[in-house]
Amino acid sequence: MIAASILAVTLSACGKKEEANSPEPVPETTGIAADPAHEAQVDMITHDFTAGQTKLSLSASGTAEPNAEIHMTINHISGPRPDVIRTWFGPRSGEGTMKTKAGGHDDHWHAHVVCPGTITSQDSLWVEIQYANGDKAATSIRIK
C-alpha cells in the first residue's frame, strides 16, 4: 500500500513541468551617477537668440537628464544663413558630449541632442553655427 502511494505521487509529479526561474533582467547603465538636482524637464521651450550675426528661434522638448534626448527645431529669423548648425548639451567645450549636426533645408533645421551621462549645474544647451566662409559662433541656452 505504501509502495502504491509512493508510485502514485511520483507519477502525478511527472506530468508537471517546473517553471524555469529566469533571473530578472538587469538594466544597462553607464555606471555614471546622475545628479538629480540638475535634471530639468523641457516640456516645450521657444527661445529667440543671436549667434554671430544671425538671429534664430529655437523650439525644444524633452528632458535634460543623463542619457535623455532633447528634440529641437531651429528657425532662421534674420542675418546671414548658416551653412551648418551643431548642437550639444553640456559644457562649452563639448567635452564628454555627443555633438549633433542639425539636418536642415530652406530656413529651418532639426536636431536630436543626447544629454551626457552626468549633468552639472554648469551645463547648457549649445548651438554653434558655421558660415560658408568657415567662421563659427556659438551661444548657450540655460535649461532650468
* Angle, CA of 136, 116 and 128, to the nearest 5°: 10
- Report yes or no on 78 lying in a domain: yes
What's the pLDDT at 11? 47
Residue 6, burial from CB neighbour count under 10 angstroms (0-12, 13-18, 19+): exposed
Q: Structure pTM? A: 0.68
Most confident of the ranges 4-8, 12-16, 43-47, 123-127: 123-127
Domain that holds residue 76: 38-141
- Neighbouring CB atoms inside 10 A of 64's CB total 23
What's the pLDDT at 144? 63
Tens-digit pLDDT profile for residues 54-92: 999 999 998 889 999 999 999 999 999 999 999 999 999
User: What's the whole-number mean pLDDT along residues 103-131?
Assistant: 94
**Is the confidence at residue 6, as pLDDT, over 60?**
no
In the chain, the number of structural domains is 1
- Report yes or no on 5 lying in a domain: no
> What confidence tier does 143 reach under pLDDT thresholds 50, 70, 90?
confident
- Report yes or no on 76 lying in a domain: yes
